[in-house]
């Protein structure tokens, strides 16, 4: 099979015909191809083959009834989704009660400010409070680096990407539920519709989440969250200055701009989910010093 | 429980096709693995030996690495033809090997004393002897691009069908045909040039 025992000319002609050679060329080319036969490859002896088999046998996976059962369960339809749900449930324990309470209090406070019609632009209040939830959420759930447990997390069966998605699902999901609930309450006051009202919270929330996750590729999550939130506040201040002050009744950003913020946030979150797990290993303490040494060189 | 109980030998492994053997080997059946090695050690060594310019030690390492990759692919499914998949793994390993700067093929060629023929203007006797030993063919194949060499080796040494080559190299069928055609013509020209030198 290997060393190509000389093929009859008609076989070569057939091969050449299959590859689209003209019949007049086939004769000449088949002589060329016959020359290939001169370069013989070594043939392993049966002992060498057996030796190779023995080396490989040590690598083949061992099977057991338990392993087979686990594999079968893992191949079931929707297993990945169930796995993610279980992972989400497990990650909930990472969050301290203060996260849940503080987030809810912030939304409650914001809603009260809007309902009592304090002398501020109500959109502005929502735009300040929405991203504040992101600051809380990101710094509460992505804290493996600060706790020096990142290496441990990377050694666990769930991949860094699965962990990121699960944790994001918890904090972002909770924030969205809070915002939507508050929006429903505020809706009773009239003014903007539910979509527009929710957008005031959610668009900056998503944008700041996206930027925070992206920055956390390079720095601890709570720094990234603080930096992004500070940046967002600066943008708000600049926008308000241009719109004649914080008491202006007009919205800080147009609806189109808010939609753009929201979509940009979703894109950034997607990008971060792709790249964060790949680069997270560079944040390990040992790796950081290795990287620093490399950069110093 | 004895080791044999963990990996029950299958006395009928010889009657199974490649795909069934690969699936069983991935599940830990020793007899299936041995049978696969028996079937493919020689052809794979021949393919890799020629693809790495006649370096037997390197070819042996790559054969082992190819089988290791086969065993680690837990997701292998019997519906997928085994032979093109095996050659795809082998070809990719060679490509990866040559990509690493330390083992660039041009360096290894230059360093290979067997290839001094090119640089030292051998006399006709030496070239005639080289031709007898197949070195002329080796030199000609080396001077072909990797893309042509791989299709020619798979077709004319390993006897893979056009479709199998297309699957192994992840190329459209038309590209396989055109590379075979161009490669064959170039090979003819290279062999003629080497003969004229002799």
Residue B101 has pLDDT above 60, yes or no: no
Contacts of B55 (CB under 8 A, 6+ apart): B49, B108, B112
CATH code reported for the domain at B112-198: 1.10.10.10
Q: Look at A73 and B186; give whichever has higher pLDDT.
A: B186
Residue A169 has pLDDT above 90, yes or no: no
Most confident of A234-243, B36-45, B142-151: B36-45
pLDDT of residue A2: 43
A residues 50-109 lying closer than 8 A (beta carbon) to B:
50, 52-53, 55-57, 59-64
Judge: B71–A59 Cβ closer than 8 Å, yes or no: yes
| Closest-CA residue of chain A to B177 | A19
Select from A33, A50, A62 the Cβ nearest to the Cβ of B6: A62
Residue B81 has pLDDT above 60, yes or no: yes
Task: Supply the ipTM of this predicted assembly.
Answer: 0.75
Select from B56, B136, B181 the Cβ nearest to the Cβ of A42: B56
pLDDT of residue A13: 81
pLDDT of residue A35: 84
pLDDT of residue B14: 62
C-beta separation of A276 from A217 below 8 A: yes
pLDDT of residue B120: 42
In order, the DSSP letters of chain A are: --S-----HHHHHHHHHHTT--HHHHHHHHHHHHHGGGSPPP---HHHHHHHHHHHHTTSPP--HHHHHHHHHHTSTTHHHHHHHHHHHHHHTTS-HHHHHHHHHHHHHHHHHHHTT-SS-HHHHHHHHHHHHHHHHHHHHS-TTTTT-HHHHHTSSS-HHHHHHHHHHHHHHHHHHHHHHHHHHHHTT-SS-HHHHHHHHHHHHHHHHHHHHHHTTTS-HHHHHHHHHHHHHHHHHHHHHHTT-TT--S-SS-HHHHHHHHHHHHHHHHHHHHHHHHHGGGGSHHHHHHHHHHHH-
Q: Look at B180 and A62; give whichever has higher pLDDT.
A: B180
Select from B133, B135, B137 the Cβ nearest to the Cβ of A36: B137
Chain B environment of A56 (Cβ under 8 Å) = 33, 37, 64, 67-68, 71
Judge: B184–A32 Cβ closer than 8 Å, yes or no: yes
Residue A61 has pLDDT above 70, yes or no: no
pLDDT of residue B132: 60
Residue B11 has pLDDT above 50, yes or no: no
| Closest-CA residue of chain A to B155 | A15
Residue B87 has pLDDT above 90, yes or no: yes
Task: Write out the CATH class of domain B8-103.
Answer: mainly alpha
pLDDT band at A1 (very low <50, low <70, confident <90, very high): very low
pLDDT of residue A293: 56
pLDDT band at B6 (very low <50, low <70, confident <90, very high): very low
Q: Look at A123 and B174; give whichever has higher pLDDT.
A: B174
Write out the residue limits of the CATH 1.10.1740.10 domain(s) in chain B: 8-103
Residue B9 has pLDDT above 60, yes or no: no
Mean pLDDT over each residue of chain A, to the nearest integer: 78
pLDDT band at A5 (very low <50, low <70, confident <90, very high): very low
The pLDDT > 90 percentage for chain B reads: 37
Q: Look at B161 and A25; give whichever has higher pLDDT.
A: B161
pLDDT band at B105 (very low <50, low <70, confident <90, very high): very low
The pLDDT > 70 percentage for chain A reads: 77
pLDDT band at B7 (very low <50, low <70, confident <90, very high): very low
pLDDT of residue A252: 67
pLDDT of residue A247: 52
Asked if A117 is an interface residue toward chain B (Cβ–Cβ < 8 A), one would say: no
Distance from C-alpha of B7 to C-alpha of B29, rounded to nearest angstrom: 5
pLDDT band at A251 (very low <50, low <70, confident <90, very high): low
The average pLDDT across B81-94 equals 91
Write out the residue limits of the CATH 1.10.10.10 domain(s) in chain B: 112-198
Q: Look at B188 and A140; give whichever has higher pLDDT.
A: B188
pLDDT band at B116 (very low <50, low <70, confident <90, very high): very low
pLDDT of residue B179: 93
The average pLDDT across A237-243 equals 78
Judge: B30–A57 Cβ closer than 8 Å, yes or no: yes
pLDDT of residue A134: 85
The average pLDDT across B154-162 equals 91
* Cα–Cα distance list, A40 to B42, B145, B161 (Å): 12, 20, 21
Mean pLDDT over each residue of chain B, to the nearest integer: 78
pLDDT tens by residue, A68-85: 777 777 776 677 778 888
């Amino acid at each position: 099979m290997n060393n190509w025992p000389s093929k009859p000319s008609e076989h070569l002609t057939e091969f050449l015909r299959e590859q689209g050679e003209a019949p007049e060329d086939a004769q000449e080319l088949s002589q060329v191809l016959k020359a290939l036969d001169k370069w013989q490859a070594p043939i392993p002896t049966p002992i060498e083959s057996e030796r190779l088999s023995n080396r490989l046998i040590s690598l083949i996976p061992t099977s057991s009834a338990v392993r087979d059962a686990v594999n079968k369960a893992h191949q079931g339809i929707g297993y990945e989704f169930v796995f993610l749900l279980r992972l989400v449930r497990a990650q909930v324990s990472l969050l301290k009660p203060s996260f849940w309470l503080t987030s809810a209090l912030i939304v409650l406070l914001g809603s009260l400010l809007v309902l009592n019609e304090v002398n501020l632009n109500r959109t502005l209040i929502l735009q300040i409070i929405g991203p504040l939830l992101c600051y809380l959420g990101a710094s509460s759930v992505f804290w493996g680096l600060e706790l020096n447990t990142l290496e441990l997390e990377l050694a666990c069966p769930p991949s860094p990407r699965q962990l990121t998605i699960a944790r994001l699902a918890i904090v972002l999901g909770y924030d969205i539920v809070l915002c939507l609930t508050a929006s429903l309450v505020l809706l009773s006051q009239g003014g903007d519709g539910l979509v527009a009202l929710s957008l005031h919270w959610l668009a900056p929330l998503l944008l700041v989440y996206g930027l925070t996750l992206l920055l956390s590729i390079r720095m601890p999550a709570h720094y990234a969250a603080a930096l992004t939130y500070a940046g967002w506040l600066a943008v708000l201040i600049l926008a308000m200055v241009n719109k004649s002050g914080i008491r202006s009744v007009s919205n800080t950003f147009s609806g189109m701009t808010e939609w753009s913020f929201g979509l940009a946030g979703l894109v950034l979150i997607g990008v971060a989910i792709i790249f964060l797990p790949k680069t997270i290993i560079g944040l390990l303490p040992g790796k950081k010093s290795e990287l620093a040494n490399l950069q110093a060189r | 429980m004895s080791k044999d109980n963990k990996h029950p030998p299958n006395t009928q492994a010889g009657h199974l096709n490649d795909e069934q053997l690969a699936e069983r080997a991935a599940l830990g059946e020793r007899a299936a693995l041995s049978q696969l090695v028996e079937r493919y050690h020689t052809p794979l060594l021949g393919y890799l030996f020629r693809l790495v310019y006649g370096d037997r030690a390197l070819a042996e390492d790559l054969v082992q690495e190819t089988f290791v990759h086969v065993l680690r692919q837990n997701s292998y499914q019997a519906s997928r033809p085994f032979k093109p998949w095996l050659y795809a793994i082998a070809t990719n390993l060679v490509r990866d090997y040559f990509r690493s700067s330390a083992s660039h093929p041009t360096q290894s060629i230059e360093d290979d004393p067997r290839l001094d023929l090119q640089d030292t203007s051998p006399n006709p006797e030496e070239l005639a002897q080289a031709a007898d030993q197949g070195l002329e063919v080796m030199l000609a194949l080396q001077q072909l691009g990797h893309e042509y060499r791989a299709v020619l080796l798979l077709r004319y040494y390993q006897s893979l069908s056009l479709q199998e080559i297309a699957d192994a190299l992840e190329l459209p069928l038309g590209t396989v045909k055109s590379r075979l055609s161009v490669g064959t013509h170039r090979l003819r020209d290279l062999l003629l040039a080497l003969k004229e030198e002799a």
